[in-house]
Amino acid sequence: MSIKALFIGTILTIVILLTGQLAYILLASYIGTASTDYTFFKEYKEPLWFCLSAGTYAICFICGGLFTSILTDKRKITHAAIVGFTVAALSLLGAGDSTLLNYKAIIIVIAGLAFSALGGKIGCDPAPSELKN
């Protein structure tokens, strides 16, 4: 295990996640104020916000896993998954409200782990058999 890669990957993932959340909030507030006259946005506002926030969450964790896998030489997916689990758990514990810890919290932690591991998989070196072709 590379402690350096885990530490720097966690910090990078937190920064990426906070930046993504900021972009999501700014975009959601702009769309919310600009689309007051459109019935489509009024009718489907909650599902649109949920899909946009889930997409932001996924992209942030994939990027965090990718950067973590770049920082280490071995066990790239494992390092990325550990960072994803750590950041997802810290984001839930940082909420400060213990009523949020239910089955949805488990889904969020598993999704953070999975998306970060996917980023680690993307950052892996190609197999030697793929290089021959």
Residue type, 64: G
pLDDT in tens, 35-92: 777 788 778 888 888 888 899 999 999 999 999 999 998 889 999 999 999 999 988 8
pLDDT for residue 41:
76
User: Dihedral (C-alpha) 21, 114, 90, 94: value to the nearest 10 degrees?
Assistant: 50
- For residue 7, what is the enclosing H or E element? helix 3-34
Q: What is the mean pLDDT of the chain?
A: 87
Residue ranges of the domains in the chain?
A: 3-122
